[in-house]
Amino acid sequence: MPEISPFVPAALPKTPTGIDGLDEITAGGLPQGRPTLVCGSAGCGKTLLAVEFLVRGAQQFDEPGVLLTFEETAAELAANVASLGFDLPHLQAAGRLRLDYVHLDRAEVREAGAYDLDGLFIRLGHAIDAIGARRVVLDTLEALFAGFTDEAILRAELRRLFRWLKDRGVTTVITAERGEGSLTRQGLEEYVSDCVILLDNRVIDQITTRRLRIVKYRGSAHGTNEYPYLIGEEGISVLPVTSLRLEHPASDEIISSGVPGLDALFARRGWYRGSSTLVTGTAGTAKTTLAAAFALEACRRGERCLFFAFEESPAQLLRNLRAVGLDLAPYVTQGLLRLDASRPTLNGLERHLVTLQRAIRQFRPQAVVIDPISNLIAVGSLSEVRSMLTRMIDFLKVQGISALFTALLHARAGQVEQTEEGISSLIDTWLVVRDLEDRGERRRGLSILKARGLAHSTQTRELRLTERGIELLDTVLAASGSLTI
């Protein structure tokens, strides 16, 4: 009896788009040699996604592309995407890209008898052959329906067009306008069965958020969620959770917190490199100072540190920290420390995340401080903040960056639980600073709420700000015993 060999599924060949994040959620890109439909309402970036697919293909993957545009002339299109750093005329001159504007005007053409769209096929074929194109974009094919009246002919020709594109083996992106109750206005999804991507533009609390979803992808696993995406200065960024499988490396190296008294609370005198630390506390509990000590210590080790300040300007921050013996200015001059100050409410959450990631990619720090992350809650709902932080922390972990976040807690009850629910699972080390009222004196108490993989003291120490920095004194016990958070 012949042995039955185990079934090994052949991997579907894919064409990487080169678009930030999109290749991750499609597990490698668009189906190679097949058409993909990108649909969405007006202004959600369909054309841009399609153009970026061509530009990245020509620049990064040595795949020339043809763009057949029905709505904008080649010059208009080139001007529109120039602000995103896409130099279409240059790519055209280099023979990496070919633009053909198809002008359609029903008023100029009358139909008198049977016809087909061979002219379109010939133009497309000519453009593909001229530069050896591997990628094609049709933006937007539905304009044909405005140019011709005979729908039966059009539909037959569309079917023939998609068949023809597949036979040519070019990877095609077709854009289409979102329809009422259907994916596209003219039902193009009927002809494209391999991959359909839906773009969506919505306004929540006066902030526009864009979402991308893979509606279907025949023969391939793909992310099924709605992913936020942005149109930034360098094109489209889709924001997937970068490491869905928690495969980041774990360093065994211990780094100092920058506060000797705090290090002493850990059996190994500090926490792990590449771990995430959260400092929470009510107003005025020296969270920023703790964060600055951590940043300063990183710079002393000769590492680069990026400090995101969402509450104070760099000048004010430097002045205030100098008053407690933390002089960051020399490291700023040396270029080891970069202070990045902005108000998060100016941007939506996603844009914020992209801004942070971009700054981190540029500066390539070993340590990052975000002071505070709770400011972000002003921008989005807790679940949104949580999903953004998951992405942020994942992004940092994959790169082995040691991170410290601060979060403001209000004195009223419930806040800690909320934070706990929100981000505790993402955090490795959690420090809590709280106010201790003792016989008319307000003191600060610091304790370690959790520290993954580290033996640590469970006592509360008194935290004092001195001219020499932060000092931790031996255990304090409030006379009232009211050690409530």
Q: Which is nearer to another protein, 153 or 332 (CB)?
A: 153
Q: Which is nearer to another protein, 19 or 102 (CB)?
A: 102
**Which listed residue (43, 93, 115, 151) binds another protein by CB under 8 A?**
115
DSSP 164: H
What's the half-sphere exposure (Cβ side, CA atoms, 13 Å) at 393?
22
Q: Which stretch binds another protein (CB under 8 A): 96-104, 173-181, 215-223, 260-268?
A: 96-104
Q: Which is nearer to another protein, 13 or 115 (CB)?
A: 115
Instruction: In whole angstroms, give the CA distance from residue 299 to residue 421.
Output: 33
CA distances from 254 to 131, 251, 320, 424 (A): 55, 8, 29, 21
CA 257 to chain centre: 29
CB of 214 to another protein, least distance (A): 32
Q: Which is nearer to another protein, 28 or 147 (CB)?
A: 147
- 103 is a site residue for another protein (CB under 8 A): yes
Cβ 386 vs Cβ 353: under 8 Å: no
- 109 is a site residue for another protein (CB under 8 A): yes
CB of 113 to another protein, least distance (A): 3
CA distances from 395 to 244, 254, 306, 403 (A): 11, 20, 14, 11
x/- site string to another protein, residues 122 to 151, per CB under 8 A? xx-xx-----------------x--xx---
Q: Which is nearer to another protein, 100 or 226 (CB)?
A: 100
CB of 150 to another protein, least distance (A): 9
CA distances from 199 to 14, 188, 244, 437 (A): 21, 15, 22, 54
CA distances from 45 to 77, 233, 269 (A): 13, 13, 51
DSSP letters spanning 201-233: EEEETTEEEEEEEEEEETTS----S-EEEEEET
- 104 is a site residue for another protein (CB under 8 A): yes
Q: Which is nearer to another protein, 144 or 476 (CB)?
A: 144
DSSP letters spanning 309-342: ESSS-HHHHHHHHHTTT---HHHHHHTSEEEEE-
Q: Two tokens at 226?
A: 């709605």
Q: Which is nearer to another protein, 71 or 471 (CB)?
A: 71
CB of 175 to another protein, least distance (A): 18
Q: Which is nearer to another protein, 117 or 388 (CB)?
A: 117
Residue 408, amino acid: L
Residue 452, amino acid: R
x/- site string to another protein, residues 148 to 167, per CB under 8 A? x-------------------
- 76 is a site residue for another protein (CB under 8 A): no
CB of 88 to another protein, least distance (A): 17
Stated as kind and residue range, the H or E segment containing 287 is helix 287-300
Q: Which is nearer to another protein, 149 or 182 (CB)?
A: 149
Instruction: In whole angstroms, give the CA distance from residue 80 to residue 72.
Output: 10
Cβ 431 vs Cβ 449: under 8 Å: yes
Q: Which is nearer to another protein, 120 or 359 (CB)?
A: 120
Which residues in 389-448 contact another protein (CB under 8 A)?
A: none
Q: Which stretch binds another protein (CB under 8 A): 53-61, 105-113, 132-140, 191-199?
A: 105-113
Q: Which is nearer to another protein, 168 or 450 (CB)?
A: 168
Q: Which stretch binds another protein (CB under 8 A): 99-107, 247-255, 273-281, 366-374?
A: 99-107
Phi, psi of 37 (to 5 degrees): -100, 130
- Gyration radius of the chain over CA positions: 28
Instruction: In whole angstroms, give the CA distance from residue 350 to residue 231.
Output: 10
Largest CA distance in the chain: 98
- 120 is a site residue for another protein (CB under 8 A): yes
**Which listed residue (111, 151, 234, 417) binds another protein by CB under 8 A?**
111
**Which listed residue (2, 113, 181, 335) binds another protein by CB under 8 A?**
113
CB of 126 to another protein, least distance (A): 4
Q: Count the residues of the shown chain that bind another protein, applying the rule CB under 8 A.
A: 25
Give residues with Cβ within 8 angstroms of 172, minimum separation 6.
Answer: 34, 35, 36, 135, 136, 137, 138, 165
Q: Which is nearer to another protein, 188 or 295 (CB)?
A: 188
CB of 101 to another protein, least distance (A): 9
CB of 132 to another protein, least distance (A): 16
CB of 10 to another protein, least distance (A): 36
Phi, psi of 451 (to 5 degrees): -155, 105
Q: Which is nearer to another protein, 72 or 100 (CB)?
A: 100
CB of 109 to another protein, least distance (A): 5
CB of 338 to another protein, least distance (A): 51
Instruction: In whole angstroms, give the CA distance from residue 37 to residue 198.
Output: 8
Binding site for another protein (CB under 8 A): 100, 102-104, 108-123, 125-126, 144, 147-148
